[in-house]
Structure 1
Amino acid sequence: MRWNSEERAFAVEAYFSSGCSVVATQRAFRNRFNLAPLAPIPDRKSIVTWVTTFRQTASATKRRTGVPRPVRSPENIEAVRASMLRSPQRSARKHASALGLSDRSVRRILRDDLHFHPYKMAIVQELTERDFNSRMNADEAHFDLCGSVNKQNMRYWADTNPRQLHQRPLHSPKVTVWCAISSAGIIGPWFFEENEVTVTVNSDRYVNMLQIFFFPRLEELDLGDTWFQQDGATAHTSRASMAVLREHFPERLISIRGDLEWPARSLDLSPCDFFLWGFLKSLVYVNRPRTLQDLKTNIEEKIANITPAMLTRVMTNARYRFTQCMENEGRHLTDLIFKTM
């Protein structure tokens, strides 16, 4: 609602005449201009603004004269810089509140004056010195109804990418899912459960899954002499599991104690880990599944929608990662983690 100068002037006069009462001012305003009971009248914010303007300029309609104080002054720019350097992981909104500036002004200073950018925090599996040599030389994932870690609010403000890693261990699941992935297709998902209750993966359950689910579907793909790669989970590398796998993949088993050793904590080298599980977790929670069955249905549908072209790109990326791992002497693939567009 736009109010003319006469209406604003009357509101200011009525405000002072009523002892600075907004309610009395609104009542006088309605009577003065013969407004119907439901007709709009100036709200508290408008009246207070007009009064403040009158006190500063002796007018209810004119803004304050003079040169306005520049928000992006050298002093404010330096204050924002110092604040960000002290707490680079605080949000721009919190910095703005602490500095007494608007969120928009702080973001403009960060972008246009300081050339800072909100870099995402990378979450990776922790590596020890002992792992580096091992990494030189497809498995289960866990889905919880509460969803996965939200990294959208994890930012680090700086003028250059700090390439900071946030290392954390893996978490226990509510639903345990197994898949096998290749350029020819995905076999799965298989849910480890008994009587519709999620169970832990042990050797017997792993062998049972291989025999009744994985091997029959692998034969349907008719891929010939296929190599099989798995991580070093105890259930995977037990005597019973390894015996079954060696029989099915003679001299073609990539695993701890396999024909080719597979290094521990190498999520960034496994297509299931660097692609499949993250891809699924970005999609299966979109419609907020309310039950585990809803979650499992989402997982099945999203896997079915993965195209052969996408799998081809994933495998090409996997080969590139292997090369980068060797060139980086087994350490984190920072060129991939912090890749910019």
Structure 2
Amino acid sequence: MVLCGKRIAHYVHFVHRRQNRPSEQLIRLTMERFRTTFTLIDNSHPQRRRTVRTEEALAAVQRSIEEDPEESIRHRAQELDLCPSTLWKILRKDLGLRAYIIQIVQELKPNDHQVRRRFVEWAQNEITVVPNFHKQILFSDEAHFWLNGYVNKQNCRIWSNGNPQVYVKTPLHPQKLTVWCALWAGGIIGPYFFKNDGGQNVTVNGDRYRAMITNFFIPELNNHDVQEMWFQQDGATCHTAHATIDLLKDTFGDRLISRFGPVNWHPRSCDLTPLDYFLWGYVKS
């Protein structure tokens, strides 16, 4: 046994000759494994046996989906004692299910379609007269950046044979940072972070929005050629106070796209602004 022990020690040293010197505990464990099993191969972690798509397995998966459609494939495979690849085939090929990703969208009201159509027709007419009209619009908006986590849409799947229409509850008053930007063909104006005099994060109201326009936005416009630029904002209450509309008209005249403005911006139309369908998602990702 002394000779065998020396040979085992030499073997371990040979395996680890390109790395750090093996510890004494590793050598002792290797020698003990050889004494008890007469082999140096570690069989303490047997490979998972392959499973087949039997009728019993299909029924078990079906019951599991009905009880909890949101569980991951890995956890479900462990509970059902199935290979993950077998479970995936049962879900996709045998049960015909799909993994739906959570999407955050605006709910359109019945009259929104007609209002949106009128605006698009107006924009098309302007582009007919001025081909680069869409490049002369300053699109603006705020976004909340949550500081206490979010729903990871990439890792959330719900297995179902139809759209489950699931709603995810979120805290009523989570910590957040409110950021404003203006985006146009020439670049981005901003970001502007809404904070109070003490440097604490705050949300937007009419006074803070007008202060941002006066102290930040209008001075920034002096660095750009915006003589013929249009300004767009959505219909948020903080944007549409009479004092705010008058302030924007003093700067842009009739080139204002806003609720209560010369050109009406229709509600629930975030998909028509490059900030909502590109910028905020890109930054948050």
Task: Report TM bin, short chain.
Answer: 0.5 to 0.7
| 2:104 aligns with one of 123, 128, 136 | 123
1:89 matched to 2:70: yes
**What secondary structure, in the 3-state scheme, does the structure 1 residue paired with 2:183 have?**
strand
Cα distance change, pair 192–81 in 1 and its aligned pair in 2 (3 A)? same
1:155 matched to 2:157: yes
Superposed, which structure 2 residues align to 1:273-284 within 5 Å?
273-282=276-285
Equivalences, count: 223
Larger displacement relative to structure 2 (251-260 or 192-201): 192-201
1:176 matched to 2:167: no
| 2:188 aligns with one of 166, 186, 189 | 186
| 2:248 aligns with one of 230, 245, 260 | 245
| 1:220 aligns with one of 214, 220, 223 | 223
Task: Tell me how large the CA RMSD over aligned residues is.
Answer: 3.3
1:133 deviation in Å? 4.4
Larger displacement relative to structure 2 (144-153 or 207-216): 144-153
1:220 deviation in Å? 1.8
- State the percentage of identical aligned residues: 45
Q: Give the letter for the 2:273 counterpart.
A: S
Verify the 8 A CA contact 2:147 2:175 in the aligned structure 1.
no
Verify the 8 A CA contact 1:192 1:198 in the aligned structure 2.
yes
Cα distance change, pair 87–174 in 1 and its aligned pair in 2 (3 A)? closer
Per the normalisation by structure 2, the TM-score is 0.65
The runs of at least 4 consecutive aligned structure 1 residues that moved more than 6 Å come to 167-171
Cα distance change, pair 110–167 in 1 and its aligned pair in 2 (3 A)? closer
1:77 match: 58
**What secondary structure, in the 3-state scheme, does the structure 1 residue paired with 2:100 have?**
strand
Per the normalisation by structure 1, the TM-score is 0.56
Unaligned runs of 5+ in 1: 1-35, 47-67, 283-341
1:139 match: 141
Q: Give the letter for the 1:191 counterpart.
A: F
Output the CA distance in 1 between the equivalents of 2:93 and 2:145. Answer: 41
1:104 matched to 2:95: no
Output the CA distance in 2 between the equivalents of 1:171 and 1:125. Answer: 20
Cα distance change, pair 38–71 in 1 and its aligned pair in 2 (3 A)? closer
Which digits, 9 at most, give the CA deviation of each residue in 1:134-168, with x for residues without a partner?
A: 44442111123324331123212246x73847487
Verify the 8 A CA contact 1:253 1:260 in the aligned structure 2.
yes
Cα distance change, pair 246–102 in 1 and its aligned pair in 2 (3 A)? same
1:255 deviation in Å? 0.9
Output the CA distance in 2 between the equivalents of 1:127 and 1:40. Answer: 72
Superposed, which structure 2 residues align to 1:1-341 within 5 Å?
37-42=28-33, 71-81=52-62, 83-84=64-65, 87-114=68-95, 116-129=97-110, 131-137=112-118, 138-158=140-160, 162=163, 164=165, 166=167, 174-193=176-195, 194-282=197-285
Verify the 8 A CA contact 2:230 2:252 in the aligned structure 1.
yes
Q: Give the letter for the 1:267 counterpart.
A: C
